[in-house]
Amino acid sequence: MKLTVFAALAVLAGISPAPAADLRLGLVGTDTSHVIAFTAALNDPASPDHVPGARIVAAFKGGSPDLPSSRDRIEGFTRTLREKYGVEIVDTIAELCKRVDGVILTSVDGRVHLAQAREIVAARKPMFIDKPLSSTLEDAREIARIAKAAGVRWFSTSSQRYAVLNLRAPDLSGVDVWGPGPLEEHHQLDLSWYAIHEAEMLYTLLGTGCEEVTRVASPDADVVSCRWKDGRIGSMRALRPYAEYGVVLFHKDPKGQKASMTATSGGYTPLIRDFVKFFQSGVPAVPNEETLELFAFLDAAQRSKEAGGRPMRLR
């Protein structure tokens, strides 16, 4: 990269260039605890989890009256954002977009993400979409389509991806993952509500290329068995009401496959670092194609459940 004349003279004179100004980010949807975690990490330099480079400066409340986890928590989270962190609360997404360089779509309800993304895309703002990307495969693909047509960069992932990132290995023949799997009646892809964390773990470790899934459902748990095109096999167990996260890794070996097991828990800091880098560079930490295949995986799992456990290929 070529230095400007001023910058070159400053370097020769031993003067450090001034740091770039923090990016101004906005929140769409204040009905999840994630907005407090994200804002604390970005806006509070004294926080042990502080991530430099960006600040939350504005938020649009949003909210879903028919969803208790949205309706019953939104006012408290909004008050904390305004009173503790000085975040401006605005009345519309269009008004928010005028004040920011990028948008974090944090609405807890995946059903509203497409409509909200349309407004963000119309303002030509890059966006990180917090989990779940949407509540249906069709909405996920439409978000991708409108963003591509407008030249707007985006990405979406779960913080749980980062709990297993360092476990990826070229010799994996398969993995079993598990974690909490409470369901939400309004979400058409019911595993997208919470078990998306386990799906993110699965895709982080095995990557794209899933071909077929089979889902067995019961009141206490759902198990999704999946086959990749290259023969690797994965499984995902969503436990209710809640459970710890964990993973078993199966490694290829000339003397026979080996297995190792670990419990996992993800924090928000690696995710926040990645979405700040995304807003700075425009390069998503997770390829859009992988996220869309993950939703095709959830869609196939839903169709398998509705068909009484028959195997389903990804659409």
* pLDDT at residue 20, rounded to an integer: 62
Residue 89 has a CB neighbour count (10 Å cut-off) of 15
Instruction: Report the alpha-carbon angle 286-88-157, nearest 5.
Output: 10
Instruction: Report the alpha-carbon angle 51-53-56, nearest 5.
Output: 80
Mean pLDDT value of segment 42-60: 97
Could you tell me where in the chain the CATH 3.30.360.10 domains are found? 161-266+286-313
Model pTM score: 0.90
Least confident of 144-153, 247-256, 295-304: 247-256
Q: pLDDT digits over 161-201, tens only?
A: 999 999 999 999 999 999 999 998 889 999 999 999 999 99
Could you tell me where in the chain the CATH 3.40.50.720 domains are found? 18-152
Q: pLDDT digits over 77-120, tens only?
A: 999 999 999 999 999 999 999 999 999 999 999 999 999 999 99
Q: How far apart are CA 245 and CA 235, in angstroms?
A: 13
CA-to-CA dists, residue 101 to 35, 56, 285, angstroms: 17, 10, 18
* Model confidence at 12: pLDDT above 60: no
CA-to-CA dists, residue 100 to 38, 187, 192, 277, angstroms: 16, 30, 29, 16
CA-to-CA dists, residue 113 to 119, 132, 309, angstroms: 10, 9, 29
Q: pLDDT digits over 241-288, tens only?
A: 989 999 999 998 877 778 888 877 768 999 999 999 999 999 999 999
Mean pLDDT, the chain, rounded, equals 92
* pLDDT at residue 175, rounded to an integer: 97
Query: Hey, which residues does 174 pair with through a beta bridge?
Result: 233, 250
CA-to-CA dists, residue 149 to 122, 126, 146, 191, 230, angstroms: 11, 13, 5, 29, 33
How long a stretch of residues is the chain? Answer: 315
CATH 3.30.360.10 fits 161-266+286-313, yes or no: yes
Eight-state DSSP code of residue 190: G
Judge contact between 68 and 146, C-beta under 8 A. no
CATH superfamily for domain 18-152: NAD(P)-binding Rossmann-like Domain (3.40.50.720)
* pLDDT at residue 248, rounded to an integer: 96
